[in-house]
Structure 1
Amino acid sequence: MNYLEDKRLLELRFSNGMMMLPFIRYKLLCSKNQGNVISSTEVPLSKIRILYRLFSNLPHIGLKKKKLVFFSSTLFNIELENKKGTYYNSLDGYYYNLFPNDSLLIEDADDEFRWRTKNSYRAMSFIKTYLLSFSFSLSRILNKIKPIRRTDFGYILKNYPDLYTIEELGCLDYFHRIYYSLIKWLLKKIQCKCIAVNCGSYGETYAPFIKAAHDLGIRVIELQHGAITTDHLAYHADSYITQNKEFATYIPDCLCTFGEYWKQYVDWKYEIIPVGNPHLNRCIKQYTDVKVISDFLVISQPAIREYVLPFVKDLAAIYSNKKIVLRLHPRDGIDCYKEIIDKFPNISLSFSETNLYKDISQAHYVIGGYSTCLFEAMAFHKKIIIIDVPIVRKYFPADIGFWVKSAAELNLISMSNCNSVDSNNLWTNGFEERVKQMLNKYIE
């Protein structure tokens, strides 16, 4: 399948010789397809507040020498039930716990430069956020002092005029040099043998990051954190890109997936190893006998908020005697939903700090667009309702769930799951054995 259809992009370089395409490919695809873009209506943080939050967390940028490093996000942290203020990382934490003496967890801040927890793991650091922020800030300063103008920039500006300005390209050029050097320094200091990343296949800031690791001979694995489907732009690429050996140095060596099902939607030629979803498996056991207390759980997504909001309004009005829980995405703003919360007493909010699987297990029906949560709800044998709009049709398999264009179309009595996908194919068992077998050879 053709996506970019422009082989000239492989030849474009930043001034340090690094390829431009690994950084800009995902943005190119998004601009072409008008998908996978999350917009926010929230007011940007002031620079003073950002600096304050970064300064107050400086004590947590320390490093330890470890064989395994997990680059994660604070957004994966979930608060333990009955232990307020105690968190665990619902993705990388399970890998970390298999090798506690050999692992370092480096967590990024959220979009507002906050961390949910500061001491959930013995070897933990926040340093990557600082290196990234420093690299962007310094690149802007240097480009103002000495602007970079390259012939390769002209090609982008002429053929993709809405992608970047000449100033932005100059900043990216400086950014690559600075960030690449800082990441190499970081990895040398840790002396690791293998790193795990999320979103490594996207490129962007992970492109120079992964390139630095490979130049040091460090193995890079990506951990699946969400659904990978037929139109997930990060995992699809033209054959002239996937077969390019130099481009391969900017993406991971291996992708660890939740199950066999997801492999079919990945074009990259790296190794794909199904290891399972340990957090899901743990919670299935934990919430097996939980009582259903809500009728509908609606999974919000910022990218389809314009469809979710009217659907929820109609749902609350039509089923005024039913309890509806609206679970917000980590990047959702509460203000966007204030109106419906105030208007409909049968709607309540749930936030990402609450265990997702607890919300799923306590609901009878799960409603959403193309979120991974809908696949996960299948493991709990819940009835899935899909909001039928074009962007969801594009990103979610048509053979899963009961599709409706509006809440008025729901017929709860006759509704069936309509799933033709085996849940066991989505979620592989034997996580501990599979991961130990994979990683032991890198740390011995």
Structure 2
Amino acid sequence: MKLTGLLSRTNATLPGVTGVARVDRRTGELLRRIGPGDVAVLDQVDLDRRTAEALIAAEVVGVVDAAPSISGRFPNLGPEVLIEAGIPLIDGIGAQALREIKDGTKIRLHEGAVYVGDREVARGTEQNAESVADQMIEAKAGMSAQLEAFSANTIEFLRRERTLILDGVGVPEVFVSIRDRQVLVVAGGSSHAEELRRLRKYIREYRPVLIGVDTGADTLHAAGLKPDIIVGDPDGIGTETLKAGSEVVVPAHPDGHAPGLERIQDLGIGAVTFPASGNAEDLALLLAEAHGASLVVTVGFQATLREFMDRGHSGSNPSTFLTRLKLGGKLVDGNAVAVLHRSRVSLGVMVLLVFAAVIAMAAALAVSGVGHVYVDVIVETWNNVLTWGKGLFA
């Protein structure tokens, strides 16, 4: 007991950040296991923003990447997000180091090195705001090459999936009625929860079909909204959310394998599969379009070129690009809808305000003893206001 106490005090005096290592080459699997106080040890070239935000949400105390977190191919956003959140990031430790760092071991990060006790087991580059900014400048120069590769990938993707993109062949049937209705698709992107909150009035008024994509379904459920359709890998979605959804659509690989389908079956929840090589977000949009949605509002989707290229490592960009072309004018960003809906003044409110002003004017004139002179003028003005208001909001 005394020895344990001595060791604890000794470890507490060592510099750096200490936590329990959670090791996995498969980033998706790792994100399901990490929790507060853990150090995420992964192997991902070009750490993207969505992964970084998931790590922050899990309250990890540090991140160790076997690969370069910024390769220079394009300006990916993950390292910058982690550094801004105050989470240490050491990258480029090499694949061999993943075998040296055992899952569940307490490790310490300090000045680019990974320690188990006093023994250094790996060393890489500890990123900071300055180093990330310098690498971003260089990475922007690689954008032209990435765009050229993207063009070639788009042609190849269209060759494989042309019947799905052009004709909707392979889109599963759903029980929820979508035709001629507005659809709100929520994905787990940056600030998606806040963006959804700003759309509460829009949701109450238009009652759109609610589609939750991956963790976006959890966000809908947490906001007290029932997802009409859930699209994504069930392994990354909460059990209560899955049970609350009306329908579940599980993306499947072109060979028919559907990750997470076993969990759905264990929970006794009915689901349909959607075989395609696109990501879950794109499949949700294609689902809405194929079933006749009049308008599709998106929350948590990448909107800028930098965010778009940030997911270039996933190989899903051609799908994303072509899917958005397919929807065309039906596709609207949720931030724009929130701004337009917030700035709109209803006819009823305007009429009540004008009516109150007219009554106050009439009362004041009546008290003054000259009200009868202006009654006809007030009535005529009131009729003109009503006519103008109806024409404006028709």
Shorter-chain TM-score range: under 0.3
| Higher helix content, 1 or 2 | 2
TM-score (structure 1 length as normaliser): 0.25
Instruction: Name which structure has the greater RCO, CA cutoff 8 Å, separation 6+.
Output: 1
Q: TM-score, normalised by structure 2?
A: 0.28
Structure with the greater alpha carbon radius of gyration: 2
